[in-house]
Structure 1
Amino acid sequence: MAFAAVSGLVFVAGQHLMREMKVQQRISVPIGKQEVAPGLLDGLNAVVLKYFNEKRFKVEGPTRSKLRQELLRAGFFHPEAISYYIFWRIGLVVGLPLLGYLIAMILLPEQSSLLKLGLVALLTVIAIFGPDAYIARRKRLLADEYATAFPDLLDLMVVCVDAGLGLEAGLDRISGEIIKKSYALGMNLLLMGAETRAGRSTIDALASFADRLGVDAARAFVGTLRQSIELGSDVGDALRVFSEEMRDKRLLRAEEQANKLPVKMVLPLGACIFPVILLVILFPVMVKLTTVFRAVH
């Protein structure tokens, strides 16, 4: 037991150190470089930027703005995220049906043509709708992550404002701490800081920040700060009240998820555990009945 306890402590400490090292590496990398893996070949990067560039495919105007907004909400902060999106869309639409055709010809040569056609059609549908479904799923996961991390952001902002820092200085100060809790939220804070340093007003940068996150908590946060700035009220008091409200909402959301667990456990219990229990109960009876029938015959 002592050996197991020591091993567990060492494992937990190692995982914590590895996570801290990864966070520090992410912070040290400039904005826009995090999405490209270190081992990615420069040739692939050059091919994507040359042949799948957004300008080459005429992705401009409102379409580009909307697509860029969706990718930012899904956590893709790379400057050339649209080009990579085009690359993967075209690659999947071409590659998956071709893969299905090769599988049908090589591995299923004796099957019916209808089955082969169905396989190719299924992979084609996945290739067409798969990227958008993946982005939508990432947006949902990030929305939950933002809702969980927002009370911590507000608490840090209250501390910074009470310590005498301004709104912009406080947001810059907490970016490094928030990125440890939520990488995507921290990156959005860094982008907002870059916008304000580039000359954009604080209110416009906050509005853009809320649009990138796309969650109600961010919109309410921006609305609270905007009212405080425009009316000249104390930002610290407004943040303190809003922070308490957000913590209450997070607690209610946790209680809601806990109350959903019994309903979610019905299917695993019915499909996995109940048949095993039924088999354990009935197996001796079945053995006894089999013995009795053999004795009779």
Structure 2
Amino acid sequence: MEAMFRAVGIAPEAAFAILLGAAVFASMLAVLLPGMKKNTLKTRMKAVALEREEIRARERARLSREDKGGRASLRNVEEYGFAAKVVDALNLRKALVDEKTTAKLKIAGYRNSRHLTLFLFARASLALAFLTIACFYIYGLGVLENQIFSVKLLIVAGVAYLGFYLPVMVVNNAAQKRQKSVQLAWPDALDLMLICVEAGNSVEAAFRRVSEEIGVQSIPLAEELVLTCAELSYLPDRKAAYDNLAQRTGLEGVKAVTTALIQAERYGTPLGSALRTMAQENRDMRMNAAEKKAASLPPKLTVPMIVFFLPVLFAVILGPAIINIFGVM
């Protein structure tokens, strides 16, 4: 080891000092990083608490307006910044927003109208920014100067469309991650809800208790349960609260459970048996998804094995024989 260090021009004492310093630095990182990590659950729960207060204020305003015979005008004071001005000036809400877009934003966790405004502004601004950059490189700096005008125009349009579609990709990715987190924790949440209901708690108390316990496993599910608990307390129709939960998650398992909860409240059927059945069904669905993913591994591993493993295997097996043949010749 000492000879190796001297061969590269490093004294053994200096090398030992460097390795010791690196080890001390790694140990300090291992001790300090857990303490420096932000508490994501508390931050997200604060945001959900603000949204719960908004629901409460909105429902109180609605009740006040109904008490006054509908004569009072309710004005929602919203932040009207530069992004909102651009969206209203270009009329992007009418051009780009549909039910599928709003549903995808809700599934991704972006439920406020401001989130929709920022999403539309990001699509327009990124498309313009990517278009400007592409024009600068192709027409300003002369990149691809040997190509014809139609090819350059096609590349510029493709880059601009990439910027226009990039926020959609980000939202779809966030929605998939959120759905995966909710789907993995949903059967356990149903088991906890079943325990709370059989212990004599109401549905609202069960949702509140489960949201506190399930946050360690899935923060998105804890957020949705807290919002559902708030809507059950403040909305005049409990069915709307359950329907909103199904829409915000976009999962068939959650939709089936909300349908069972609606029927249990409407017809007086036992809630415990329904939750027990739904928990088992969702657990079976999670197991089927894991088995499906495991069954798809052999076809996916075929190409990497052919490209990476077989050449190395052939080299190891045939290498000595080829060396002996050339040695004899």
Q: Counterpart of 2:13?
A: none
Of 89-98 and 183-192, more deviation after overlay is shown by 183-192
3-state DSSP class of the match of 2:296?
Answer: helix
Amino acid at match of 2:87: F
The 5 A counterparts of 1:81-160 are: 81-104=115-138, 105-106=140-141, 108=143, 110-113=145-148, 116-160=152-196
| Aligned 8 A contact 2:246 2:258 in 1 | yes
Of 143-152 and 61-70, more deviation after overlay is shown by 61-70
Q: Counterpart of 1:42?
A: none
Q: Counterpart of 1:162?
A: 198
Output the CA distance in 1 between the equivalents of 2:289 and 2:215: 22
Q: In the alignment, which of 205, 208, 217 is matched to residue 241 of structure 2?
A: 205
Of 266-275 and 84-93, more deviation after overlay is shown by 266-275
3-state DSSP class of the match of 2:216?
Answer: helix
Q: Counterpart of 1:21?
A: 39
The 5 A counterparts of 1:1-297 are: 21-30=39-48, 46-52=81-87, 57=91, 59=93, 63=97, 66-104=100-138, 105-106=140-141, 108=143, 110-113=145-148, 116-285=152-321, 287=323
What are the Cα deviations for residues 242-270 of structure 1, in whole angstroms up to 9, with x where unaligned? 21222222222222222222222112222
| Aligned 8 A contact 1:97 1:124 in 2 | yes
1:271–1:101 distance in 2 versus 1, CA, 3 Å? farther
Output the CA distance in 2 between the equivalents of 1:61 and 1:226: 36
Amino acid at match of 1:102: F
Output the CA distance in 2 between the equivalents of 1:150 and 1:13: 33
**What is the TM-score normalised by the length of structure 1?**
0.76
Instruction: Mark the structure with the bigger radius of gyration.
Output: 2
Q: CA deviation at 1:274?
A: 2.6
Output the CA distance in 1 between the equivalents of 2:272 and 2:100: 34
Give unmatched runs, 5+ long, in structure 1. 34-44
| Aligned 8 A contact 1:155 1:243 in 2 | yes
Over aligned residue pairs, what C-alpha RMSD do you find? 3.5
Give unmatched runs, 5+ long, in structure 2. 1-22, 52-79
Amino acid at match of 1:186: A
- Count of residue correspondences: 274
**What is the TM-score normalised by the length of structure 2?**
0.70
1:197–1:253 distance in 2 versus 1, CA, 3 Å? same
Output the CA distance in 2 between the equivalents of 1:173 and 1:151: 15
Q: CA deviation at 1:275?
A: 2.8
3-state DSSP class of the match of 1:77?
Answer: coil
Output the CA distance in 2 between the equivalents of 1:212 and 1:12: 38
Percent identical pairs in the alignment equals 26
Amino acid at match of 2:44: R
1:288–1:121 distance in 2 versus 1, CA, 3 Å? farther
